[in-house]
Structure 1
Amino acid sequence: MRLPLLERIAMCLVVTLSCVLDLGQKLLCTVPQPADVSRAEYVNRFGCWSDVAALWNNRGLAQHVFPYVHGTWRGDPPVLGGGTVEYPTATGVWVWLTALPVDSARGFLVVTAVVAAVLAVLVTLALQRIAGRRAWVFAATPPLALYAVYNWDVLPVASTVAALLVATAPPRAWSPLLRWALAGALLGLGGAFKLYPLMFLGAMAVAALLDSDAPWSERVRRTAVTVGSGVGVVLVANVPFALVNYEGWSSVFRFQAERPIGPSTLTIWYYGLLPWSADLDGPLQGTMATLATVTTAVGVLAVLAVTVLRALRTGRTPWIQSSAAMLCVYMVANKVDSPQYVLWLLPFFVVLRIGGWWVTAYLVTDVCLTVGFFRNGYYDAVGQTGETWAGQMLTAAIWIRAVLLVVFVVRFLRAEAVGRAADRPGGAATLPAGRRSLEHPAPA
């Protein structure tokens, strides 16, 4: 349902204000700290850390070196160099482009915030078109005010929501195959920004093949265009860099693979295996990395298996629910679960009905985790030893978040889609590719 114009404007203003608030808070870290205060004490006192400012200072963005082409992975320990950042290629190029007009970390933060605000407004309008008033869950909750300029995660979020919009509320003139191809390409673009949307491409491909609303030959064609367009975008974003400078391109994957699981990764593996995991150079690091990889893969494949079984039984694939469930598996089991990952979840809180109290519990836990993390870092920086309320709140929030994510795996798989994300009243959400649903979409 299309909301009144004034309400949509109000949503956009709230989103913009959230991004401005986050920018103002992050700008505190672009000025020197007082002479008698350490950098760690200053940053953690104000909680103003952001990858945007940090990468400007640590990855040579001020020199505007085109990333990956001149990248290296050398040294002891090895470090990224040559303009390369620790993100997939599309994000790296985006970072390079947005750094071109400025010559300081402060200016870079401002440009990044402006772009993030524009994308967040577009995401809000898309979610409003899909799910109506529920878009307020994205627009008016704390995550944007905390993480809009934390890094560049709004890019894959925007790609994912754009794919949802194409899948559920496209222009009438678009053909079925065009919709499948464009939705797949948008998820591929999300994967070029950050890998996790590629899981959603897998769920969408299952829907393309197993939804029984078309002849088998048409299902094969739409599966081919969905997978082909998504994988094609990923290849276009990666192959040229790999051919020009394989070391620079692969250094990103080496960096992430060799990144130790420590207190800043905020993962159950580190906090669940203390005190042994506290040795960041110890033998347990390899074991934890293997456990994270295996459990993530098994969990994602298990969700896909459930999705396939439901599709075979009912003839309709709950690909949106499956995507949300896989995302929760990834967040709880992977080696890193950064606070800004909540931005990945927000669109699914909008388009799937899992209960307002569950959503509230997760968002409150996320705020507590962030406050506890930075305040605990402040106490460490000033030399305060022993247990503190901040450390206790951080640990509790990590485990509560993990429990909630496990619960969400089940609840998302059983959830009802809302608004245009619902293929039929009370039914499973799927990419509506049948001739009837495509030729006669729901009115605006």
Structure 2
Amino acid sequence: MIGGWSRSTVSPVPLAGDLRSSDDRDLPSRNDTLGAALSHVAGGPVGRHALVGRTRVFTPLRVMFAIALVFLALGWSTKAPCLQTVGTGWPDQRVANWENQRAYYEFCYSDTVPLYGAELLSQGKFPYKSSWLELDATGKPRAQYDGRSAVRYMEYPVLTGVYQYVSMALAKTYTAVAKSSGLPLLAGVAEVVMFFNISAFGLALAWLATVWATSMLAGRRVWDGALVAASPILIFQAFTNFDALATALATAGLLAWARRRPVLAGILIGLGVSAKLYPALLLLPLLLLGIRTGRFGDAVRTTSVAVLVWCAVNLPVLLLYPRGWSEFFRLNTRRNQDMDSLYNVIKSFTGWQGFDPDLGFWQPPTALNAIVGALFVLCCAAIAYIALTAPRRPRVAQLAFLVVAAFLLVNKVWSPQFSLWLVPLAVLALPHRRVLLAWMTVDALVWVPRMLYLYGERNKGLPEQWFTVTVLIRDLALVALIVMVIRQIYRPAEDLVRMRAGDPVRRSARIDDPSGGVFDGAPDAFPSWWPQHLRPGLRPGPSPGLRPAQQHQEVWDARRDRTVSAHNRT
């Protein structure tokens, strides 16, 4: 005892003047098994009496940036075997070493390197303006199914094509500096390798932006962004293609929406659609929840701005080079089922010939296109039904994840880098870190049998079924995530019970939807003419005078209490 006070209640030094603490923040080192285990690497879990959110140096975001840089470096290192310069002369006379199918057995394949020459970037030509002829194995021009010459253009949306053009211009600048300086050291790196490095630098910045936006969208669960920073998918797919650009813009668009800036959200999503079409899918959840909450105007405003921005970016190229601009859409129309698609898995195991057998070169698979479109429309209709009739309004991230996941599952093309689209959405939609890490690991490992299958069985690679089995496992893992998200939507009372352990996103009445923006805490307010069967079922009426989130809380607490009482009576 010291002066009548217990030693445990006396601070050894004077207390700070500012004792504010983010006590509501989720602490994985205390309430998550995986987080607690990993925390021992860096000093153990946070102290019980620590002031949370007060560190000036190692803030959560900076720590996640450091983690992301480590995984992005691992991603670059997996591509490094394909970045070895061979040949003599200046950088534009040297090439990357891809001899003897090196890209497959070294697992270092990236679209960036072959596209530099195939799409005439190596010649300094502007995408969409220049074309080339598709050649056969003997080097002769090929004719497509209707007898016309098979003419090719840049196959990417405008913003991605311009990004490649800017990266090419910087690589050409490197070559010019090497030639003008005459330094042999500068001439040691091939121009195509420098193009890859410049592109990878921008893609790394884009992924850091994705980590930032995800952590901001996570609300009190800011450490969920660490799963985006440390996703195993990054190791193989971060620099396989240019999808990180669209992912960053899409996630930033959701953050703008969460901060109630619908115009900025529309600008960012419109730019994302100009880089890859998938960000357009994020508009569907906003429109559906706008109908349910009566906040339809903001959703329409975001959608309208996104369309205008997309038109502003695409219109100049469309008017100047209409044939080159339309190549992206034409290519996607004439592609058959991709090797990573569910249709190819069925074909691999059953010997099925597909919906469109005996197609000519570049002949569009009309039956497959129609079936893919119909299946996706059905999925969107099911998601709309969930969004409008679920007992408690779903979160924006939950619906966004369901739409993008359904698109990938039923689509005829699932390129490996497309999995990057799902990473931030899955992290925001499903707050179960070990489950997410297991899914990401399964998805990442599909790359290994894929490369060995492409290497060829005659070269001691793997047969097709080894690869398609892993694709099937990946698809089943994604279906499991979808089921978990839907279960979480339809059983909010169970979620509320678990949330008191500090795990799920919605915690008591204070948190409704961190990424919801104008939907956060909003009650149902369907238009008067909206059909009754497309509304939530009858529920007990909430007590008056409560905020909407508190009303939902009380309704489901009452239902849970009645269920427990009935169980005890029996």
1:290 and 2:366 correspond = no
Q: State the Cα distance separating 1:340 from its structure 2 match.
A: 1.6
Alpha-carbon offset, residue 372 of structure 1:
0.8
Q: 2:126 aligns with which of 66, 69, 72?
A: 66
Q: Distance in 1 between matches of 2:164 and 2:70?
A: 23
Q: Which has the larger radius of gyration?
A: 2
> Residue 64 of structure 1 contacts residue 99 of structure 1 at CA under 8 Å; is this kept in 2?
yes
SS in 2 for 1:100: helix
CA distance in 2 between counterparts of 1:252 and 1:137 reads 32
Question: Secondary structure of the residue that 1:336 maps to in structure 2?
Answer: coil
Shift of 1:428: 5.2
**Matching residue of 2:343:** 269
Compare relative contact order (CA 8 Å, sep 6+) and give the higher one, 1 or 2.
1
Pick aligned residue for 1:187 from 247, 254, 269: 269
Do the aligned partners of 1:33 and 1:42 also contact (CA within 8 Å) in 2? no
Structure 1-normalised TM-score? 0.81
How is 1:19-418 mapped onto 2 (pairs within 5 angstroms)? 19-31=72-84, 39=99, 41-70=101-130, 76-77=143-144, 81=152, 84-103=153-172, 104-131=191-218, 132-168=222-258, 170=259, 176=260, 179-212=261-294, 219-263=295-339, 266-274=340-348, 275-277=351-353, 282-283=358-359, 285-310=365-390, 316=393, 318-380=395-457, 382=459, 384=460, 388=462, 391-415=464-488
Q: Note if 1:18 corresponds to 2:71.
A: yes
Identity across the alignment (%):
22
Where 2:380 maps in the other structure, the secondary structure is helix
- Give ranges in structure 1 of 5+ residues lacking alignment: 171-175, 213-218, 438-444
| Cα offsets for 1:49-106 (capped at 9, x unmatched) | 111112102111122322224457886246564xx42211111111111221104220
Distance in 2, matches of 1:278 and 1:41, equals 29
Aligned CA-pair RMSD: 3.3
Distance 1:220 1:326, change over 3 A: closer
Deviation of 1:353 (Å)? 2.4
Q: Per-residue displacement from partner, 1:245-293 (whole Å, max 9, x unpaired)?
A: 2211111111121123243xx1110120233448997259543343323
- The whole-number CA distance in structure 1 between the counterparts of 2:202 and 2:401 is 26
Contact kept? 1:68, 1:248, Cα under 8 Å: yes
Structure 1 Cα separation of the partners of residues 151 and 505 of structure 2: 41
8 Å Cα contact 2:217-2:515 kept in structure 1: no
Residue 559 of structure 2: aligned partner: none
**Local SS of the residue matching 1:102:** helix
Pairing of 1:422-433 with structure 2 (within 5 A): 425=510, 427=512, 431-433=516-518
> What is the CA–CA distance in structure 1 between the aligned matches of 2:446 and 2:296, rounded to whole Å?
45
Larger mean CA deviation between 354-363 and 64-73 belongs to 64-73
Distance 1:337 1:51 in 2: 15
Distance 1:291 1:415, change over 3 A: same
Distance change (3 Å), C-alpha of 1:41 and 1:223: closer
Task: Give the SS at the match of 1:273.
Answer: helix
- TM (norm. structure 2) is 0.65
1:242/1:425 CA distance change after superposition, 3 Å: same
Q: Report the Cα offset of residue 41 of structure 1.
A: 3.2
Post-superposition shift, 1:138? 0.7
Moved over 3 A (4+): 1-5, 30-34, 37-41, 69-75, 77-81, 276-281, 283-290, 390-393, 413-430, 434-437
Amino acid across the alignment from 1:433:
V
Residue-pair matches, total: 410
Distance in 2, matches of 1:407 and 1:236, equals: 40
Unpaired runs of at least 5, structure 2:
1-24, 26-52, 88-96, 135-141, 173-190, 490-494, 523-570
1:381–1:26 CA distance, 2 compared to 1 (3 A): farther
AA in 2 matched with 1:344: W
Question: In structure 2, what is the Cα distance between the partners aligned to 1:20 and 1:89?
Answer: 28
User: How far off its partner does 1:298 sit?
Assistant: 2.0
Counterpart-to-counterpart distance in 1, 2:344 and 2:401: 25
Opposite residue 86 of structure 1, the aligned amino acid is E
Distance 1:271 1:40, change over 3 A: farther
Displacement, 1:46? 0.5
Who is 2:565 aligned against?
A: none
Aligned equivalents of 1:160 and 1:241: distance in 2?
Answer: 22
Give yes or no for contact 1:422–1:430 (8 Å, CA) kept in 2.
Answer: no
